Chains A and B, each alone.
Chain A
Amino acid sequence: MKTLIAIPAFNEEESIGAVLADLASHHPLEHVIVIDDGSRDATFDIAHAAGVRVIRHAINLGVGGAMGSAFKFAARNQYDAVVQLDADGQHRPEFLSTLLEGIGRTDIVIGSRFAAGGGFRSTWARRNVQRVIAWTVSAYTRTRLTDVTSGFRVSGPDAIRLFSEHYPVEYLGDTVESLVLASRQGLTISEVPVIMNERAGGLPSQSIVRATLYTGRILLILVLAAFRSAPPNVTAMKKRVKRESAP
């Protein structure tokens, strides 16, 4: 299975070097791509020097935009699986094989901090926010999911085809919206327990107020996602596939 590790990075000069060094013992670096999402620091130079492929965005598009580029790259180069790995060292490469084992059973496999066997220390507010969002997404996908905001996940061939056409770009909503989009297109999702490191930078939902705003925004995205039809690119792709498969 040809597997691409995609690392979206925005101003991650402090951690990207260590992440790539750690990754090197688990995956060949020629199949690793760093998406430098308009960084103003040395992220590009460090990644380039480490010998991985680097895509550089001229402006900051957010994690969703960066992953969109990664999926387009993967589709163009016939990859069978794309693993998203954070540049801040939160995701541990020793769990790559655990994630990849799940591909084939389902189209997307999420590394979950909250599934039995996973581990992550977290605040009370953050845990409950995660729980509410997880319940909602589980209802959409008709699968029991515990950690839908986890960025540590692998996408199989069908998911790569879908996401290379359209990947949600809304800030901090890309993880959940992509799951809803995938399940509405008939893709299957599962999760495996993983252990994550503490994030080096600030958490997006530290205080109760910020946690509430964050939850509200994600829930709004979810409500809209349910109401929306397929994105225009995806509809066009399905028509194309149907035409090609017709005799």
Chain B
Amino acid sequence: MNPQILAIILSVIMLVIVLVLLRFYFLPEKYAVIWLVAAIAAIVLSVFPGVLDGISRFFGISQPINLLFVAGFFVVLLLLMQLSLELARTREQLRKVVQSIAADMERSSSGDD
């Protein structure tokens, strides 16, 4: 079997997963763009591998697959970085919420306004 078919199948599966997650409100709009772009880029690259060859030649990379690894790794690192920042922000918000609930509970149990 032509390995290109496997690549196309995998990238289509990825797009379908993204769309299903979006449809049922699991994936918020905020993250939708990056995942839609990633899924569509994967489909384009698997259907037209010539694109990858062309870009590799431009950068002087002899094995196009190496470009894929470098670029893919870089994108994944960026996504991880974004996740770390989001997590930090969420923890900060959680801290604020817990502290404000605790303050309210103390106020209502001690009976003063």
**Which A residues lie at the B interface, using CB under 8 A?**
58-59, 170, 173, 220-221, 224, 227-229, 231-232
A58 touches B101 (CB 8 A): yes
Query: Which of the residues B28, B32, B100 comes within 8 Å of A58, measured between beta carbons?
Result: B100
Residues of A within 8 A of B99 (CB): 58
**Which B residues lie at the A interface, using CB under 8 A?**
19, 22-25, 28-30, 32-33, 93, 96-97, 99-101
Q: How far is the CA of A229 from the CA of B26 in the complex (A)?
A: 11
Residues of B within 8 A of A227 (CB): 19, 22-23
Residues of A within 8 A of B33 (CB): 220
B97 touches A228 (CB 8 A): no
Residues of A within 8 A of B25 (CB): 228-229, 231-232
Q: How far is the CA of A224 from the CA of B23 in the complex (A)?
A: 8
Nearest CB to that of A59 among chain B residues? B93
Query: Which of the residues A59, A170, A232 comes within 8 Å of B29, measured between beta carbons?
Result: A170
Q: How far is the CA of A227 from the CA of B101 in the complex (A)?
A: 38
- Secondary structure of the B contact surface, majority rule: helix
Residues of B within 8 A of A224 (CB): 22, 29, 32
Minimum C-beta distance from A69 to chain B (A): 14
A170 touches B96 (CB 8 A): no
Residues of A within 8 A of B100 (CB): 58
B23 touches A229 (CB 8 A): yes
A229 touches B29 (CB 8 A): no
Residues of B within 8 A of A170 (CB): 28-30
B22 touches A220 (CB 8 A): no
B96 touches A173 (CB 8 A): no
Residues of B within 8 A of A231 (CB): 25
Nearest CB to that of A227 among chain B residues? B23
Minimum C-beta distance from B10 to chain A (A): 23
B96 touches A232 (CB 8 A): no
B29 touches A221 (CB 8 A): yes
Residues of B within 8 A of A228 (CB): 22-25
Nearest CB to that of A170 among chain B residues? B29
Nearest CB to that of A61 among chain B residues? B93
Residues of A within 8 A of B24 (CB): 228-229, 232
A sample of 22 cross-chain residue pairs with beta-carbon separation below 8 angstroms, ordered by A number, consists of: A58-B97, A58-B99, A58-B100, A58-B101, A59-B93, A170-B28, A170-B29, A170-B30, A173-B29, A220-B29, A220-B32, A221-B29, A224-B22, A224-B29, A227-B19, A227-B22, A228-B22, A228-B23, A228-B24, A229-B24, A229-B25, A231-B25
Residues of A within 8 A of B32 (CB): 220, 224
Minimum C-beta distance from B26 to chain A (A): 9
A59 touches B23 (CB 8 A): no
Minimum C-beta distance from B24 to chain A (A): 6
